[in-house]
Amino acid sequence: MLYKSEILVRRDEVSQTENEIDKIIKRLATLQDQFLDGNISPQEYRSMKEKVEKDLIGLELKLKGLKQDKSFYKEYINQTVPML
């Protein structure tokens, strides 16, 4: 039962992180539009782009970690069952 709730929590975290990634990608596109339309300077664009890309990389790493199946219970079972 505990393992099942852990799976559900992980699934929710994956979904939330994917939504955050989509939001960041849209923000980057908006930033590019603002720059191309001349609403922000090249220096402002580079500064904001750097921050947005840093956030995106962090979220992608978080998502990768969440998608890896590192459940304590699953590892325990994988290590102890073969001994039987």
CA atoms within 13 A on the CB side of 38: 0
What contacts 52, CB < 8 A, 6 or more positions away? Answer: 24, 27, 28, 31
pTM: 0.74
2 has a pLDDT exceeding 60: no
Q: Give me the chain's average pLDDT, please.
A: 86
| Residue type for position 78 | N
Q: Is the pLDDT of residue 25 over 80?
A: yes
pLDDT at site 27: 96
Question: What is the residue extent of each domain of the chain?
Answer: 8-83
**pLDDT (average), residues 6-27:** 92
Is the pLDDT score of 51 beyond 90? yes
Q: What integer pLDDT is reported at residue 7 of this predicted model?
A: 77
